Amino acid sequence: MAAPNGRAFLVVMDSVGVGHAPDADEFFNGDLPDTGANTLGHIKEACAAGRAEEGRSGPLQVPNLDALGLSATLAPGGEGLWGVAEEVSAGKDTPSGHWELAGLPVPFEWAYFPDKTNSFPQEILNEVQRLCGTDGTLGNQHASGTEIIARLGEQHEQSGWPICYTSADSVFQIAAHEETFGLERLLRLCEGLAPMLHARRIGRVIARPFTGAPGTYRRTGNRRDYALEPPEKTLLDWATEAGRPVITIGKISDIFAGRNTGEVRKGPDAELMDHLLDTVETAPEGALVFANFVEFDSLYGHRRDVSGYARHLEWFDTAIAPVLDAMRPDDLMILTADHGNDPTWPGTDHTRERVPVLAKGPYSGHLGLRKFADVGASVAAHLGLSERGAGESFL
């Protein structure tokens, strides 16, 4: 066991699953169960077969992640501090995965909006209208965010009505133009609506601002998630209450409703990697750094862009190398994921998958098959924290 003053870095490669979970038949994309989904495996197959040639070419090249055991997770065997983890929470969404990685399996079932059209109860739409002062809304359906903005953006600008939509996840999303509707107005609307949705066990109200003109609309980086607060303590609470410095990078502060998320750093993935490198170089002893790299999921998985996902994996592999090189001898870094999002799979939703658990630090041994919560317990053990949550340390 490393000294309690060692630092810990928990890095989530959002949606980089490594094969369907044993209960994947209970989770669906449309009418198709997730049995057979394999985000990393199917990307590797597509690359090897020459079906992922846009902006890159040939077999998938991720030598730094493979040195930690990434490809080995697809065909278990060999040595190294790597393994795979299964989720016990009844979801394949972002909050469920992250809460459980932080030691808290979700103790309830999320609510959803299952109807593809006319998705929302009228009382919710009435509250949206009351909060933003309009006499109507647009959307009210399951949709891809980029598609519904392209389709309804001009009508939104003309009417002033917000665009409301959802997906297979436990979310209520509102898209609005940053200039004609107003960014601050959109954020106030989502913040005001969130308590009503959280009371119904809807996990997140998401502000989806966009800009541009008809035909050239694009979402901006000012997205904001208003998430249901975890009902019990997580790794972030344990570390904060023990007096440890906490730095959260990317979506983490949104996912945990800002509770004990410490110093918050945001931006696109390339900027987040700079933040991660900076924390490895400068974070004080005993610090917890918790990072999420979302673009695997948001830009490539949901859009079923195999080439783009492969390019992002190869970018991440190159960019993480100096981060790994900068680690101190008593540091622990765990790279993992929160669910799958197989870009070769029908539909546009997440896929229920096992995730990789890759570790670099002052330990040795094969991790084997673990639970998500074991990740949080292991980080806590490395930091010398007394609380471990629902997991067991693999260190």
Binding positions: 14, 297, 302, 338-339, 350
The residues that bridge with 265 in the sheet, in sequence order, are: 249
Residue 147 CB contacts under 8 Å (≥ 6 apart), including other chains: none
Annotated binding site for Mn(2+): 14, 297, 302, 338-339, 350
Nearest to 157 by CA among 136, 176, 144: 176
Whether the CB-CB separation of 357 and 18 falls below 8 Å is answered with no
Cα separations in angstroms, 118 against 8, 30, 87, 165, 172: 45, 17, 31, 10, 13
Question: Which own/partner contact pairs does 29-37 have at CB distance under 8 Å and 24+ positions apart?
Answer: 29/168, 29/345, 29/346, 29/347, 29/348, 29/349, 29/351, 30/346, 30/347, 32/345, 32/346, 32/347, 34/92, 34/340, 34/345, 34/351, 34/352, 34/353, 37/340, 37/342, 37/345, 37/351, 37/352, 37/353
Containing 247, the helix (H) or strand (E) segment is strand 246-249
The crossing angle, in degrees rounded to 10, of helices 306-326 and 39-48 is 110
Torsion of CA 308, 310, 311, 313, to 10 degrees: 120
The position carrying tokens 């008809």 is: 214
198 CB neighbour count, 10 Å cutoff = 18
Nearest to 146 by CA among 308, 300, 331, 369: 300
CA count, 13 A, side-chain hemisphere, 187: 7
